[in-house]
Amino acid sequence: MLIRRLCTPSKALRQVWHCQQVAVKCPSLFRAERFAIHPGPGRTATATMSASTIQKDKPSKMQAKFCKQCGGTITFSIPEGDQEWRHVCTSCGFIDYYNPKMVVGCIVEHKGKLMLCKRAIDPCKGKWTLPAGFMELNESSMAGARRETAEEANANVEVVAPYAHLDIPTIAQTYIIFRARLAEPYTYSAGTESLAVQFFEPHEIPFDQLAFSSVAITLEHYLQDCKQGTFHIHHGVIDKRPASSPNDPTTFTLRDHVAIPTQMPAKL
């Protein structure tokens, strides 16, 4: 049932408050229905919302100021039928969607050791990480993981199996890590984004000098799998404290962890 009324801004605010109360007391009334509030004559703004979006806070930071289509001004708005604040052009109505970034990389094994790269760029310059980076357009996640390893470690690798899928909602990133083996010609060296590339024995991994929470969690599970003798495919969500450092162990936790055993024996 649609409720459309001409009202002053103060009445509009009261109407939103009223619907919030109704939504709490009678949630069944808001399963599919929506209501629209139209300001009085002479006003152009139209606020369209549902009970599920009334409580959403408007983002404080914009990702863009101008429209990709026409160059018009971008503003925050909740489009009709949507539940999220979007970047919307005030001139042509184009909606510019911003979605989480995908990071892909490899755990590279060679002669019982694991490859780590010392970062030459911020964030976390000088700390150790797995060879990984943002996935590009027109490539698969596996191809992106091999490319990133080639760029950061000048190494050719053979991907063996998927290993970890970790979501970090706080920073809008998803990590997909593959197990891989160093391949011919079995050479490696520091790429432009690395200060050094080194293979570590499992007990030598410098956990106190790792760059990112995703890397620490992935390596911890990898060593556990090796100890148990069976590899798993891991999935989980990393909850980070807002504005925390990338790998302060006191500021992040792993939740909803799922580990699916594979038939591949863990060997180092």
Q: What is the mean pLDDT of residues 43-64?
A: 57
Instruction: Round to whole Å and give the CA distance between 216 and 206.
Output: 10
Closest to 247 measured CA to CA, from 119, 156, 142, 144: 119
Is the preceding peptide bond at 261 cis, omega within 30 degrees of 0? no
| Spans of all domains in the chain | 1-55, 57-98, 101-265
User: In CATH, what is the architecture of 57-98?
Assistant: Single Sheet (2.20)
% of the chain exceeding 70 in pLDDT: 78
| pLDDT computed for residue 81 by the predictor | 85
| pLDDT computed for residue 226 by the predictor | 92
Q: Does domain 101-265 have CATH number 3.40.50.20?
A: no
Over residues 84-123, the pLDDT tens digits come to 888 899 999 898 887 889 999 999 999 999 999 999 999 9
Q: What is the mean pLDDT of residues 5-16?
A: 41
Instruction: Round to whole Å and give the CA distance between 139 and 137.
Output: 6
Q: Do 57-98 and 101-265 show the same overall fold?
A: no
Tell me if 19 sits within 8 A of 49, measured CB to CB: no
Confidence of residue 41 (pLDDT cuts 50, 70, 90): very low
Give the range with max mean pLDDT: 1-5, 79-83, 92-96, 198-202.
198-202
